[in-house]
Each structure stands twice: as C-alpha cells, then as structure tokens.
A and B are shown apart, each in its own frame.
Chain A
Amino acid sequence: MQPIEVVNLQTHVEPGRSQAVEEARRQFQICNACRYCESYCSVFPALHRQRELEDGELQQLANLCHNCRACHYACQYTAPHEFALNVPAALAEVRQQVWQENASPKWLARLFHRSGAAIAAVTSLAFALLLWLAQGLSGGDGVGFYAVVPHNIMVALFLPAFILPLISVAVGLRRYWRSIGGTRITLRHLHAAMGAVSTMKNLAAGHGDGCNFEDEDRFSHKRRLYHQATMYGFLLCFAATSAGTILHYALNLPAPYNLFSVPKLLGLSGGILLCIGTLGLAYLKTKADPNLSAQRVWGGEMGFILLLFSVSSTGLLLYAFANGDWLPELLALHLGTVLAFFVLIPFSKMVHGFYRLAALIRDEQMKADG
C-alpha cells in the first residue's frame, strides 16, 4: 500500500531571497485557497485578485495589514495545524524588512527598530545636550522659552532635525513606491486612502466591531480609539507648531501666547489626546500576544510609543509650569524629546504611517484597475 505523502510545507529559501517574504508567500498560498477572511480588511481582497504574488506585491500587502489579528483568530490552520499559519506575524516581519531596507542608513534603522533602549539613549543624549546649550547660551533678549533657549538657536537646531529625516523618509518611500509598482496618484486615490486613515477602517473588521488585539478573539475598539487619539493628538500638536510658526513669521507675533490663542488651544488638546493615546497603546501592547507580531522589534515599538508619550507629557508640563523655577530643565527635557522624535522618524515605528498611507493609496489604484 502506498503511503500517503504529506507535502513538506516548510519554507524553502533560495540564496539571496528573503526568508520573511518567502514565508508570507507560503502562507498566502493557503489563504488564497481558503478565502474565509475576505471581508475582514483590505489585505484579503487584494490578495485574491492575484494568483501568484511578486515580492513587491507581498510588500504592499504587508504594509496594508494593520495587525488587527481578526484573520488569525478566525483561522482554522494556525499551529498546531501543520500549515502553521500566522499571517499577522508573517506580514509584520515583511513590513519590518521593508522599513529597514528602505531606510538610510540601514544599520541605524535596524538598531532602533530592534532596540527601545537605543531610543531612550538618544533621547537622553539629546536633552542633555540641550540642557547644556540652554545653560551656556541663555540670558539673551527673548521672553518666555526664548529667554532660556534663544529662538534662532531653536530654529537652527530644529529645522534640519525636521527636514533631514523627512527627506530620508521621502527617499525610502519613493523606493518602496517603485518596488510595489505604484503609478501616478490622483486626488480620488488620495481621498479614498485618507478616508480609510481618518476612521482606521482596517482596524474595525468588516463587521465594524473592532479588532482582536488585547483579549484574544474578543473584538474591541480600544486599539482603534487609542490609535486615533495618538494620531489626532499628534496632528493637533503639529498644527499648534505650524500655527506658532505662522504667527511668528507671517504676523510678527512671537511666543509666548496666552491660553486662548490658537497654538495653545491646539497644543493643549493635542497634548492631552497624545498622552491618553500613547498610554493606552502601551497598555494594550502589554496585553497582546507577542507571537502575532514581529517579536524582535517589540522593544523598539514600545520605545517609540513611550517617546511619543514623553513628548506630549513634557509638553503639558511646560504649559503647567511655564513660570516655575524648573522652566530651563523642563524646556530642555521637552525639546530633547521632540528632537529625538524627529531625528528618529526614518528609523522608528513612525515610518509606519507613511508606508501605510502609501499602501492604502496603492490599494485604491489596484482596486480601480480591477
């Protein structure tokens, strides 16, 4: 009697190919034959449009995945089944690789994604430097914060710290866009993608009950809410800074501003939202199963969340104690975290926002192409 041969479903990797990409390809072949998860998010309809997946298409699907985990808990083929599907982790690995490979310098990205400690170290160094600068160069002609760190010094420090990382991200994104076969972006693509971002549609599951994150297969909106608090909080803070810049340069109204000014109202509400969002996300992260993500970067992701929390909480403290004795130290602390945050943009979890937006736009293009 002929024995029943069972195909070895281990991933075979040819030299020069990515283990992460090959593993995702293996898993998706099984998904493509099943299709039960078709309605959960944008990943599966995009997957089912194709029979074979190029590397770039896999990278695109990986960035489209929001790690909501609904597919995993619904999956009949997770371990100990020999198919051993773990789509959230497989895609997280590919995603991580895309972010690292497209960053420059790569070694810095690898270091920061892996190591939250490194993030903390750079933060500390940055604010130590600022403290020193603040002490050495203060006593200028400014008022408020500018009495501690003169405005020109701030601009000289922050403008390159803001612009250079963004240029680095743009270079990486451009490379990514080419590798996934992206075409010209129209307003319609952008509008649809922004719609998905504004509500985090992909973290709601097809039925709108939320995602599976902190309590196994129970659906919840917590992660979606905390993420949106973080995102909108961040955007409000960014708007506050932009408003301040406009007031300063266009209207010749330099800081300090009073409580009911535009920069303060935006900054205060943004700071509070950002604090709540980041604390919530950090808490959920401690509850979630680490096996369903890229485990080696857990620390880096947590470090990034806490850095964002430091930015917002020190900002709020500054508001609260703007006239206190600790102003120089608080200011240095806040500016240090902000500086660290900006410098780390291309190498930290922050890039996920840029890549995910790109993936959502590309998905709209693919949908339009049929």
Chain B
Amino acid sequence: MSVMNKHYDVVVVGGGNAALCAAISAAEHGAQVLILEGAPKTYRGGNSRHTRNFRCMHNSPMEVLTGRYDEEEYFQDLLKVTKGKTDETLARLAIRGTEASYRWMQKHGVHFQPSLSGTLSLSRTNAFFMGGGKSLVNAYYRAAEDLGVDVLYEAEVTHLERQDNVIVSVEFTYNRYRERLTPKAVVVASGGFQADLDWLARAWGPAAQNFLIRGTPYNRGVVLRDLLDQGTEQVGDPTQCHAVAIDGRAPKFDGGIVTRLDCVPFSIVVNENAERFYDEGEDVWPKRYAIWGRLVAAQPNQVGHVIIDSKSINLFMPSVFPPITAESIEELASKMDLDPAALRATVDEFNSACVGGDFHPTELDGLSTEGLTPAKTNWARPLDSPPYYGYSLRTGVTFTYLGLKVDGNAKVQSTQGPLDNLWAAGEIMAGSILGEGYLAGFGMTIGTVFGRIAGEEAAGYATH
C-alpha cells in the first residue's frame, strides 16, 4: 500500500463532513493529510450523507437565507432545545463561525439553495445543500483530492496509541491487514456510537435492540470507546440518544430522511393493544417528532400504529412506503395485526369525544376532544371516512450524546490536561455543545466550524 510508505503530518479518522472540513483545512495550511474512512466509497460520508442543511447566523439577508438570524437569537434557540445543557463559550464559537463558513463551504464546491418544498419554516435559519448532504460530501472529497489529500476507504481505525499526552500511532485494518501509521497529529471525526446496538442496549436497556438507526451503520464508536478507555475526558449523557418516531417499515440502518412520517397530528396513535397512549395533537409535528421517538420506545415491543382516514391522507408530505389501506376499522386492524374489536372500541371512544369545530391543518386549531384520556388537544376529528389508512411507528435513532471534551481549539482534553496532538470535530465532540435535544442543521454547524478549526490547529502543530 503506497500510503504506508508516505509520511503524513495529519491523519484524519472518519470521512464525513467534520472529517472532510478538517482534512481540507489542514491541507490548505500546508499539511500532508490522509483520511481513514471506515466505510466503502459508496457509503462514504457518515451521517452527513443524510443531512440537508446548515444552520447559519446572518445579520442581514444572505443569498438563500432570508431576513436576519443573529448570534443571540441562534444561541437562545440552542438554549431552548438543550434546556441549558450547553457550553456557552463553545456554542458561541460555533455560532459565530457559521457566517464565514458559509463562504468557505461555497468555495469548496458546496451549492446552497432556498429551503426545500415543505420546509418553509427553515428558510430564514437554514441554508439547504443543493442535492443534499451526499452532494456536499462529494464536493468535499473532490476538493480534498485536488489539494493532494489521500483517502483510504474501508480503513477501520481500531486504536490510537497514547503515551503521556501524545498520540504516537494510529492502528487500523485495511484489506484485512493490520496497519500502523505514526503521523505528527491526529484529528478524530468518526461520529458517535449509535450503530452499535449492543452498546445502545447497555446504555438504554434491552428495548434499544428494537430501535431503527436512521443513519450510517459505520458509526460504531470504536475510536470514541478507545479514547475514553485511555483517560480522555467525556461529555454528554452516556445513556442518551436523540431519537424520533419514524415509519416502522424503514430499513434497520440508513433509512434517512424518507422514513419520516408526518401524519401523527391528524391521527390517533395506538400501541400493540390498540390503546392510545399520548396526545397526538399536542403541537405541530416538527416540534413533537422527537418526543414520539421516546413515547414509542416506552410501548410494548417499541412499536406504535398510526390510524387516519381519507380526510387526512393529503395533508402531509408523501411517505416512502404506501399506507396499509382498508374500508373498515376492523379490516385495517386485522391487516395491522391489531385486535379488531379493541381498535373499534378505541376509535369509537375517540370519535364520540370529538366535538367538532373549525379544522386548520397548518396551525394549532384547538379542536380538542372532551372527556377523553389521554386527550387530543388539536386537530381532533372523528375517524369516520373510509378508506382508512394505517402506518406503523418505530423509534429511529439519529445520534448519541456521549463524546470527547474539547476546548475552543477543538483540542481533546484528558483528565491530565489537553493532549498535545489530538483534535476532535463533529458528532464525536458535539456533546460538548449539544447536551440535550436537537436544532435542525446544528450538527453540520458543529462539524463544519470545529472541523475547520481542528484541521488548521493540527496542521499548525504538525508543520512547525
């Protein structure tokens, strides 16, 4: 293998957005760089393949971004979703870094476009990638190659050898051989551990085996575990993951964006026993799809069933799988493996609690049930217009919170102070900033801003 005979200033572990930003940035600051991507070329890019936008501050309208979204508003949004579990210094650093990053991204081949159809609510805050995250990843690989960065695919890093405060070697498998490199500096950007179901089950409980993983099967947290075992400081709740409710028929891994199901507010959702368990109309779906991941996870066998009727079938974004369709509630129940009599009883009880009034699908309309537990507080209309449609719901894991603690230079901290030549970017350190919840497009913010910082710092260290 030719790269084994070369000497690298910087080895970047991982191949997604943060890794690529680090590699490009390091190369532009004069370093000889190697990317070790664990996935094959067709699956390169980690979870960035599935992303679609970048949350970006701007003090006045900026190309595809409308209006104004200043640092303070951005930070307040972050405070809201994290309930204060954030490091303000790092968070503000990430937020302030977005404006310049927007241009940097363009310069390296990323094309922005106005928000996609059905995402108007994000047109002010988020810049969408034309073609989505994989097109961004493709552009960055091209930019990296043009800068002379080497890339190895299917190169799985197994161990970073630490002596005192220095990483002395990077061990990985490639072509079934064990290899070892001794670069001057290392950037780890290899994501979280959500694809390791056993780890998830240890952290969350056995129910996690029934979760679906929305992103790449290659984020197994091997390097994260290895570094935590060697005394690097950890951040983020190790038992938590960000999960949403998605179509239960989605693939076990990598279902991505299309597995979302937006019809819950117009439905009733029942569990395996055909019983309702939560207010489906509590708020608009983008504000509630995350809590439904947890609600479904708490139900028997971690599954839910969404029932709507013909009145609602065109009120939400098309789903990737066609709904189960039936002319009666009983028929739908048997097609969905539910007890027909029990579902009939649940629907009847719900229908008789609906009081009627004006229905507004796009806003909180206050159309609430009366005398029903749990209540449905908006969009409550009886299910009485066949055909009836059913979808199943499962918990889909997006990312994990456990990570490495870094400082403002993206340098990895150990219990004995910062490591001399190890930097981290992206999901592997995101727990430093995002302690809870999620903000659309913020993962790409952290990856881009800290990826650039990590690359520049690593190159500076390695070339001086």
Contacts and interface: CB of A to CB of B under 8 A. Distances in A.
Contacts of B260: 33
Interface stretch (A72-80, A101-109, A272-280, A285-293): A72-80
A34 B257 contact: yes
Interface in A69-99: 70-71, 73-83
Contact of A4 (B129, B130, B210, B318): B210
Nearest to B392: A5
A243 B85 CA distance: 78
A175 to B, nearest CB: 30
A74 B135 contact: yes
B252 A4 contact: yes
A323 interface: no
B320 A29 contact: yes
B417 interface: no
A33 B317 contact: yes
B327 to A, nearest CB: 19
B258 A33 contact: yes
B142 interface: yes
Interface stretch (B113-121, B226-234, B366-374): B113-121
A206 interface: yes
Given A80-B42, A207-B111, A5 B249 contact: yes
Interface string B17-54: 00000000000000000000000001100000110100
B209 interface: yes
B252 A206 contact: no
B132 A30 contact: no
A1 interface: yes
Interface residues of B, number: 41
A4 B255 CA distance: 13
A7 B318 contact: no
A7 B135 CA distance: 27
A51 B318 contact: yes
A2 interface: yes
A218 B111 CA distance: 13
Contacts of B249: 5-7
Interface in A1-42: 1-2, 4-7, 29-30, 32-40
Interface string A252-275: 000000000000000000000000
B396 to A, nearest CB: 11
B210 A38 contact: no
A131 B276 CA distance: 85
A347 to B, nearest CB: 36
B446 interface: no
B67 interface: no
A33 B319 contact: yes
Given A6-B252, A33-B258, A80-B42, A75 B117 contact: no
Contact of A1 (B50, B135, B248, B301): B301
Nearest to B262: A33
A54 interface: no
A81 B320 contact: no
A197 to B, nearest CB: 23
A30 B256 CA distance: 11
Contact of B322 (A5, A29, A34): A29
B320 A36 contact: no
A71 B131 contact: yes
Contact of A48 (B49, B117, B210, B256): B117
B118 A35 contact: yes
A218 B109 CA distance: 10
Contacts of B258: 30, 33-34, 77
Contacts of B394: 4
A209 B139 CA distance: 12
Given A1-B210, A207-B111, A217-B142, A40 B320 contact: no
Contact of A76 (B50, B117, B303, B320): B50
B229 to A, nearest CB: 31
Contacts of B135: 36, 70, 73-74, 217
B130 A40 contact: yes
B212 A4 contact: yes
Nearest to A32: B318
Contacts of B111: 206-207, 209
A37 B212 contact: no
A312 B107 CA distance: 42
Nearest to A81: B254
Given A71-B131, A76-B133, A36 B52 contact: yes
Contacts of A29: 318, 320, 322
Given A35-B117, A36-B135, 7 more contacts: A1-B301, A2-B301, A29-B318, A29-B322, A34-B257, A37-B131, A209-B111
23 contacts: A1-B209, A2-B303, A4-B212, A7-B249, A30-B258, A33-B317, A33-B318, A33-B319, A33-B320, A35-B117, A36-B52, A36-B129, A36-B135, A37-B132, A39-B130, A48-B117, A76-B49, A76-B133, A76-B254, A80-B42, A80-B43, A83-B251, A207-B130
Interface of B: 42-43, 49-50, 52, 111, 113, 116-118, 129-135, 138, 142, 209-210, 212, 248-249, 251-252, 254, 256-258, 260, 301, 303, 314, 317-322, 394
Instruction: Please give me the 3 A-B residue pairs with the lowest Cβ-Cβ distance, nearest first.
Output: A36-B132, A74-B131, A74-B135
Interface of A: 1-2, 4-7, 29-30, 32-40, 48, 51, 70-71, 73-83, 205-207, 209, 217-218
